[in-house]
Amino acid sequence: MFAGTLTQTKARDIVSFNGKLHARDFDIAIALNPVAKTSPKSPDFEVTAINRTRRTIRIGSAWDQISDKTGNRYISLQVDVGNGPFRVNAVQTEEARKAKSNDFDIIPFVANSMMKSGSISGELTAMDADNAFAGYVANMMFDLNFMLIENEYKTAEKHPDYRIEISSPNGIAIRVGSAWLATSEKTGNDYISLLINTPDGDLRVNAVQNEEQRGGDTFSIIPFVEAGETVGSTTGGLALVA
């Protein structure tokens, strides 16, 4: 559940980065400064932030990487702001690469591990404007309020119909997943399939309507159950770009 930006700077052939990192519980400014590598696997940068007393604190490490799949450069960060370590990647959009921009977008690291939905509760309500939904999903360990925002970049059938967003304390939108409109092969009823990135892994749930809700604006969120009802577009993990 992270978002942010990084901007590369270069002075006297020394590359560094400055940026911002956002989560549901914090908004912080970060800096990536180069460190001497002691082995091929050692970090390229140390990640620092300024705490409440204005002291500069090292909060993690970062590696300058090239994707084996796309050949594109990205920055892999491992950070701990006091709640335990987490990983994010800083990537460039196709437009940024074409423009030879120094700007990167921070997105969650997706490990493709699935969190069991277990005892999940939640609700989804259609909004009056912009074809959006507001909702929450919760269990005994977390409680997440979110919005479903229509995916204006959808160009293929398998692309998600919505992106799932939460807000940081400063109101910064953080994308934490995707959602697809679907129809049950068994009942013919419409529902929404959600794939949400949580600190414990990817969470799949469905938003459905019971007989009383059908035709209205409210959906109940229930655990995803493997029972032959599948949505082809959700099998490839989080689609954080499309």
Question: In terms of DSSP H, where are the helices of 94-157?
Answer: 94-98
Listed residue (27, 26, 22, 25) closest to 174, CA to CA: 22
Read off the pLDDT of residues 104-158 as tens digits, 9 standing for 90 and up: 999 877 655 555 555 678 899 988 777 899 999 887 677 889 999 999 888 888 8
Q: b/e map of 114-131 (b: 16 or more CB within 10 Å)?
A: ebebeebebbbeeeeeee
SS3 for 19?
A: strand
Tell me the C-alpha distance between 124 and 48, whole Å. Answer: 38
Tell me the C-alpha distance between 218 and 187, whole Å. Answer: 19
What number is the average pLDDT over the span 213-237?
Answer: 62
Residue with tokens 């908004």: 27
Q: Residue 167 — pLDDT band, cuts 50, 70, 90? A: very high
Read off the pLDDT of residues 39-59 as tens digits, 9 standing for 90 and up: 988 999 999 999 888 999 999
Residue ranges covered by each domain of the chain = 2-108, 114-234
pLDDT at residue 17, as a whole number: 96
Read off the pLDDT of residues 79-114 as tens digits, 9 standing for 90 and up: 988 877 888 999 998 889 999 999 999 987 765 555
Tell me the C-alpha distance between 181 and 211, whole Å. Answer: 19
